[in-house]
Chain A
Amino acid sequence: AQSVTQLDSQVPVFEEAPVELRCNYSSSVSVYLFWYVQYPNQGLQLLLKYLSGSTLVKGINGFEAEFNKSQTSFHLRKPSVHISDTAEYFCAVTPPGYGGSQGNLIFGKGTKLSVKP
């Protein structure tokens, strides 16, 4: 069974500083990996996804993530954050294939990023 661990529930950071949000997954099979962002009172928006190929994935809003198979990690990074990046970020996995055998996306508990001026 797959599971996702987001190591930090809250990450405070000052504006223009770099940030890394950590995500580790557990799976006996290969998986697809996703990062979603949720702004207050809104649904989830896809930031980026890793399906295959280059382990460095670039997403929207200047975010990128690196897939590390040996460490089963998919950490999200941004070199310089803005106040508008304040939101909750979710890492998710799903097994490759048609619909997956365990349903759909399996999410981590989320990391609340708070960007201070």
Chain B
Amino acid sequence: KAGVTQTPRYLIKTRGQQVTLSCSPISGHRSVSWYQQTPGQGLQFLFEYFSETQRNKGNFPGRFSGRQFSNSRSEMNVSTLELGDSALYLCASSLSPTSSDTQYFGPGTRLTVL
């Protein structure tokens, strides 16, 4: 069974631009979560989607948004990029949002903002 796929793997943008990252979950998984990983703040929860609905959102500004499609694929968007948005963005999928369901992580998208 294929794992979680994230595209693109690497991205370079300039301040003020916007970016869209994509995540394809493991087949059959309907829950997708996004995390931001930076050296300073570590791993921080961004949002969680299940059946096309955002169930939870972390403490990030409104420039960060996301959505989930009917096939469970998810995208996250960051508008008006800032230097501090440079990070590894990780997507994780699980069968459902039930806390006991293991989250499987993708390799991440490395975003660099210049």
Contacts and interface: CB of A to CB of B under 8 A. Distances in A.
B59 to A, nearest CB: 9
A94 B42 contact: no
Interface stretch (A20-28, A61-69, A73-81, A107-115): A107-115
B106 interface: yes
A46 interface: yes
Contacts of A99: 48, 50, 55-56, 97-99
Interface string A76-112: 0000000000000010101111111011111111100
Contact of B48 (A32, A49, A103, A110): A103
Contacts of B33: 104-105
A43 B105 contact: yes
Instruction: Give the interface residue-count category, chain A.
Output: 20 to 34
A51 interface: yes
Given A44-B105, A103-B56, A98 B42 contact: no
Interface of A, secondary structure class, is loop
Contact of B43 (A49, A102, A107): A107
A58 B12 CA distance: 40
Contacts of B44: 107
A7 to B, nearest CB: 15
B8 to A, nearest CB: 14
B66 interface: no
Interface string B43-55: 1110110100001
Interface of B: 4, 33, 35, 42-45, 47-48, 50, 55-58, 90, 92, 96-100, 102-108
